[in-house]
Structure 1
Amino acid sequence: MKKQQRLVMRTVILLLLLAALGYTIYANFFTEKTAVAVGSTAPDFVLSDLEGREHRLTDYRGKGVFLNFWGTWCKPCEREMPYMNELYPIYQKQGVEILAVNVGEPKLNVEKFAERFGLTFPIVIDRQDQVLNAYGVGPLPTTFLIDKNGKVKKIITGTMTKEDIKQHLESIKP
């Protein structure tokens, strides 16, 4: 009888542990981690670009900001970068900035990537993942569309086509 009780108890404990593990996996990989909500003010930050110039998000007030979180190892990021680069000069003239936030990679890796694709928009490196965490970014690429008043208009997770990017840039023109 005691053997059977121990077996039942062990089975219950094992099932509880498996349920906890399943929930943890679900919560970390299949739910939105975004700490910034649509309609909220985008958290301010200061990051340096590849030339050492500081970029503060609030310096872009009055303009739309296409804030893109990415990594050099991220294939979907790699696919959308040329589209962003092609559209950047067109929309920059219309008051929209593209600001690409690299997720803490070595500067040399980011520079090589930027050179390979001839990227002309500002690229900043979030060395300590402070901005990544402040925005609650999960999978890459993740893009925040920020209007001229600094409010988050939309959050896009995953790769975008050229047409998607164009529509999003249009939506944040001042």
Structure 2
Amino acid sequence: MLLTSVQGIAQPSLDYEVQTREGESYSLSQYSGQVIYVDFWASWCGPCRKSFPWMNQMHHKYAAQGLKIIAINLDNDLSHARQFLSQISADFTIAYDPNTQVAGEFDILGMPTSYLFDRKGQLVATHVGFFSEHKADYESEIVHYLKQAQPLQRKYK
């Protein structure tokens, strides 16, 4: 099955820093409490070109419900990523890992490789590659984790 369960084995986490388009670093864990779809991609990756329109759709459809999509580029030369993004829009968060340090911790098996984290920051699924015929499966999985209890937001005065 394409949607791989990863319970019971050593797992990637959100405790890593990536760079913004402007070169500023931030931690992936700052989005805890949301369902996070982390996608590793490169400009030379053909299936990545197919996954971006789908990620745009998911972003527009589910961001208000707590979905955060972060696409982490692995190109050594960021000009290649910028060229890719000038041709294919990304309405979700783009981050950079030019030295592939974060990708090394995630043990990337192919391009693209995506990881789905639940609201507690637990890795719940890994997707290797992007297959148009499985888009409904990918979306169903996201919806499943979005429906799980959201963290309480308390306001004290």
The CA deviation at 1:115 is 2.3
Map 1:87-106; keep pairs closer than 5 Å.
Answer: 87-106=58-77
**Counterpart position of 1:167:** 140
Please give the TM-score of this superposition, normalised by the length of structure 1.
0.72
Whole-angstrom distance in 2 between the partners of 1:45 and 1:80: 23
The answer as to whether partners of 2:78 and 2:98 remain within 8 angstroms in 1 is: no
Whole-angstrom distance in 1 between the partners of 2:141 and 2:76: 27
Q: Which structure 2 residue ranges, 5 or more long, are not aligned?
A: 1-5, 151-157
Q: Between the two proteins, what is the percent identity of the paired residues?
A: 26
RMSD: 1.8
Distance 1:143 1:170, change over 3 A: same
Q: 2:105 aligns with which of 118, 134, 138?
A: 134
Write out the 4+ residue segments of structure 1 that deviate beyond 3 Å after TM superposition: 37-41, 51-55
**Counterpart position of 1:73:** 44
Whole-angstrom distance in 1 between the partners of 2:12 and 2:76: 27
Larger CA Rg, structure 1 vs 2: 1
**Counterpart position of 2:26:** 55
Distance 1:158 1:51, change over 3 A: same
The answer as to whether partners of 1:84 and 1:165 remain within 8 angstroms in 2 is: no
Map 1:9-158; keep pairs closer than 5 Å.
Answer: 37-38=6-7, 40=11, 42-158=13-129
Q: Which amino acid aligns with 1:134?
A: E
The CA deviation at 1:41 is 6.2
Distance 1:107 1:50, change over 3 A: same
Which has the larger displacement, 102-111 or 133-142?
Answer: 102-111
Please give the TM-score of this superposition, normalised by the length of structure 2.
0.79
Q: Which amino acid aligns with 1:109?
A: H
Aligned residues: 138
Equivalent position SS for 1:77: helix
**Counterpart position of 1:25:** none
Whole-angstrom distance in 2 between the partners of 1:86 and 1:96: 12
Q: Which structure 1 residue ranges, 5 or more long, are not aligned?
A: 1-36
The answer as to whether partners of 2:39 and 2:71 remain within 8 angstroms in 1 is: yes
Distance 1:92 1:53, change over 3 A: farther
